[in-house]
Amino acid sequence: MPDNYQNIDECLLKAYQQTNFRLLNSQIQIQIDALNPDLDSFLIDNNAFQWMYISADNPQSNLVSPTENQRNRTRLLKYCKDHKIRYWPGLAVPATTDWPPEENLLLLDVDQPLRDLLAVEFDQKGYLHGRINGLAHLRIMDTPILETKNK
């Protein structure tokens, strides 16, 4: 399977695939393994060619407190601002009620090495990514983060 799907629990993979990924203040919804023409129009309007959709919430898919999630979101926003990464706020809404919606960011023109670095830095199991006029892909990271980082 592409993008390391073999490295994730089947239930968690299904949850990712059934989640509604959307951009706030727009009608744009991102579907995994599908073309997303509304997103392509957004990219064209913003002179962008590739994208990443990531959350800093609930590291390693373990629920944490709202306070910790907010601290992680603040760090991700600061990183984007400090590195002049263009971003747009989003929300990932699960298909079931056993997991809360997560705040996300759509990052514009972020290449694969930086995407993976951000996933590691913010201790995420996966993220969405794609290119203009291409499919949206779910990238599952190879291994969990084992060391404790200073946050």
**Which range of residues forms the domain containing residue 24?**
2-140
pLDDT digits (tens, 9 = 90+) for 31-86: 999 999 999 999 999 999 999 999 999 999 899 999 999 999 999 999 999 999 99
Residue of 118, 133, 143 whose CA lies nearest to 52 = 118
Confidence of residue 7 (pLDDT cuts 50, 70, 90): low
Question: For the chain, how many structural domains are there in total?
Answer: 1
On whether residue 147 sits in a domain, the answer given is no
On whether residue 145 sits in a domain, the answer given is no
On whether residue 151 sits in a domain, the answer given is no
Quickly count: other Cβ atoms within 10 Å of residue 120's Cβ: 15
- Burial of 143: CB neighbours in 10 Å, binned 0-12, 13-18, 19+: exposed
- CA 58 to each of CA 36, 41, 73, 101, 150: distance values in angstroms, whole numbers, following the listed order: 26, 30, 10, 11, 16
Task: Tell me the three state secondary structure of residue 38.
Answer: helix
